[in-house]
Amino acid sequence: MTSNPNTTSDPNILGKFTSVIGLIGAALFFAGWIYRWAYFYFFQLEISNLDLPAQSFLIVPIQIFFGDGWAICKTAIAFLLAAIAINVTLWLIRISSEFFVNRFQDLSNRIIRVTQNKRSITARFLKSLVNYSSQQLRLVDFLRSLVNEIVIVSWVLIVIFWLAQWQGVTDARRDAGQNSTLPVIALITPEEKFVAGRKLDDAFADPPLKGYRIIGDRGLFEDLRGKEDTDVSNPQQPRVWRLLLERGGWIYLFPTLPPNATPNNRPAVIAIQTSDKGHLLIRAPEVSKTPTP
């Protein structure tokens, strides 16, 4: 006798690989978006208005999960706790569903026994309803895999959200303080283009305010006047201006927070439009050592 050929098909490795890559890409994009959202929200900027390239969101998660030794340990601990939470949640769902199914089956058996020899309309209706409900309960096994996947995905997203949000706020606080990794800047612009800033030939003279109007908190502008230049002469209260972002025809600048700033302190951010000519932006990794008059 000739043996039947093995009809078992090989697993679709390429399809599974593609699915895994798609899920990883979606998770990385989600992590990058949450990180950028938390980072720029610290500076009171809305990420949807910054016109950031979509591919940049896929690079940021490398820093979130594998930026340094602590990030790797934190990621491992977070996903270990997520695995425990997933198993506990699935166990609770299974216990709850079994309890519900058993109680319903007991009730169904009682109704069937009561209505077994009765031919009234009410008895036939109850018997039909019980039989239909029993058939619907069989769908629980069919939907169990879907519920398991929803639980797994939910916990993974919660962990990714927490890691990305925590890292975004941490990096924003670092960049807003004295240990910032953002570049020190010097922005030079024509006097008639910008209402704030120091004059190059007379650093003690305020620019004229004639022709300008204001809506909103005038105190924010008054807090800025006289402090537009970088000054590190006082180590206790240094003032260093840094470049947060240059995107979409706008330059975002801010003065770093003092060393004694609390975690709730946030710097004021200045947005300067660069559509007109005449702006000069100088970027540097640290404050210059050249003395200024």
Q: 205-247, pLDDT tens digit by residue?
A: 777 777 777 777 777 778 777 787 888 777 778 888 899 988 8
Mean pLDDT of 49-62: 82
Residue 63 has what pLDDT?
A: 80
Cα 175 to Cα 134, 137, 235, distances in angstroms: 61, 56, 18
Q: 68-86, pLDDT tens digit by residue?
A: 888 889 889 998 999 999 9
Which pLDDT band holds residue 163 (cuts at 50, 70, 90)?
very high
What residue segments make up the domains of the chain, in order of their start? Answer: 13-176, 184-284
Mean pLDDT of the chain: 76
| Helix orientation angle between 139-176 and 69-115, rounded to the nearest 10 degrees | 150
* Residue whose pair of structure tokens reads 């994009």 in the numeric block: 29
CA distance 89 to 111: 33
Residue 68 has what pLDDT?
A: 80
Q: 110-157, pLDDT tens digit by residue?
A: 655 555 555 555 555 555 555 555 555 555 555 677 778 888 889 999
pTM higher than 0.85:
no
Mean pLDDT of 248-269: 85
